[in-house]
Structure 1
């Protein structure tokens, strides 16, 4: 059930955030000063291409989030069941942290490393693919190859051809540690905020209001990134610009943090707020109906 609720949350999150990603990508690719800012970019896209253009690339984005959240939520629930006390059914704080960490490790190995980390190392993107296929990056800029990527499947094939199947998991170790830490912090924080703010305990059949889940999800969504996210992003950007041989955009760590925040803002907390708002509703209704026998 957790996997289903997570996948549904992913669909809603993708639908809500895709316009933001499209606008962000257009601004990043704008080298001629066509757009004067976020609002101007959005209005220009709507006027010239129609409102639907803001949702270009939604299908691969939604599919990606659906699979990722289904795996994250489902594996976390599975790990929690293994850590629960056989007599009381309660789970310790240590067990909750370990469950979240395990879910993050599994997510990193199955989805994040092969499908995110390798394809998003460099900030230079193919304009067409970025707008149509959720920011698929040009792989040849990393390896000085003579071809451009035609999509994520083609990109995976080229990496395997050049580096072997294990090439898809290059850099897995730091990604595993980052994701494990992120999810351990996020799941633990979400449960803590539910208890502290709303007196909601896992499995009690109580269904939080969507806005309550969004508050808890937003706060929990900041826990992991605060620990590891900013430095991971900055490290990746600085490494990418040093290898690309192009113009130097970031003059150091502090400048990179300020620039990335100004240009891209914060995305993880709002996304987690949306996902949890949906997931909690689905999970809560299921618990009331099938575990507690209460009418929906």
Structure 2
């Protein structure tokens, strides 16, 4: 067993053996673990922004004048704890989502790798990200966000006044009243939103790593946390702007139920048309500012954690690799 310095003397070091590094750096289970830890930290920091975003998107009568006004009203009328409503499903959903996203993206990227160089083209990286987004939307995101949004739209903190007493009770109530399909309300816009978001995010993160820090996947270089945060923040900005209408429609479809009559929105296209007709085109980007306050910082936090976990594994691997 030789350390990394020994490898450099004998065979040119880790840089001369990129295939071995790339294999370890793109291990799906390692990516999944790093993403799940990043999700826990992100959820703890940014839950209030998500609650405010949901309330703004559901506000049809102009009760909230903006982010600060919305947060102030919630805190004053419902207590500060209300800003962390839906924390349990949100944290669980982020942890599972990032594990699936990072792991499935690594698996898909391996399918697009050039067999000779081991590199992934921009086209392959984009498709891998889109596929990972679709998988997470159908398996993890939709049911968890339905529960989270139903909890977040409830006003007040007294359990006896709330229809849903918690995440498990909420899920059970939805299944009982609306069937299992109720947990997948808004699946279509969620697939479109997440697929597009992840395609852009993974492609942009790699591009910013290369452009800003000369970091190539599998090169053995470990970014510092602040470098990962900058790349992650920049990579997370484009998605919310492009997918704003999908996110608003997703929230409206997930929040509605059949209690008291027919559903207002019949599906994704019908919802877009209805919102546009009744509230104007700008309403399709409601909640954009809190999304920009949550998603780019969330990506910065997640990548800072994930890159360090991957870097720690890489350093230990390089130090213990036999010739």
What TM-score, normalized by structure 2, do the two folds share? Answer: 0.67
* 1:89 corresponding residue in structure 2: 118
Answer whether contact 2:36 2:98 (CA < 8 A) is retained. yes
The 3 A distance-change label for structure 1 pair 107 and 291 is: farther
Q: Which has the higher contact order (CA 8 A, sep 6+)?
A: 2
Whether 2:191 is the aligned partner of 1:176: answer yes
Equivalent of 1:150, from 147, 154, 165?
165
C-alpha separation in 1, matches of 2:189 and 2:70: 33
Superposed displacement of residue 21, structure 1: 4.6
Superposed displacement of residue 86, structure 1: 2.5
Whether 2:139 is the aligned partner of 1:115: answer no
Matches within 5 A, 1:119-268: 120=149, 125-128=153-156, 148-227=163-242, 229-236=243-250, 243=264, 251-254=279-282, 257=285, 260-261=287-288, 266-268=293-295
C-alpha separation in 1, matches of 2:181 and 2:71: 42
Superposed displacement of residue 208, structure 1: 1.0
C-alpha separation in 2, matches of 1:101 and 1:207: 26
C-alpha separation in 1, matches of 2:36 and 2:247: 26
C-alpha separation in 1, matches of 2:83 and 2:190: 30
C-alpha separation in 1, matches of 2:74 and 2:148: 26
Answer whether contact 2:125 2:199 (CA < 8 A) is retained. yes
Superposed displacement of residue 44, structure 1: 6.8
Answer whether contact 2:49 2:294 (CA < 8 A) is retained. no
SS of equivalent to 2:293: coil
Answer whether contact 2:48 2:84 (CA < 8 A) is retained. yes
* 2:107 corresponding residue in structure 1: 78
Superposed displacement of residue 272, structure 1: 0.9
RMSD: 4.1
C-alpha separation in 2, matches of 1:66 and 1:206: 26
The 3 A distance-change label for structure 1 pair 124 and 91 is: closer
What TM-score, normalized by structure 1, do the two folds share? Answer: 0.73
| Residue-pair matches, total | 269
Structure 2 portions without partners, runs of 5+: 1-29, 257-262, 266-274
Superposed displacement of residue 149, structure 1: 2.5
Structure 1 portions without partners, runs of 5+: 133-137, 139-147
C-alpha separation in 2, matches of 1:70 and 1:163: 29
Superposed displacement of residue 174, structure 1: 3.2
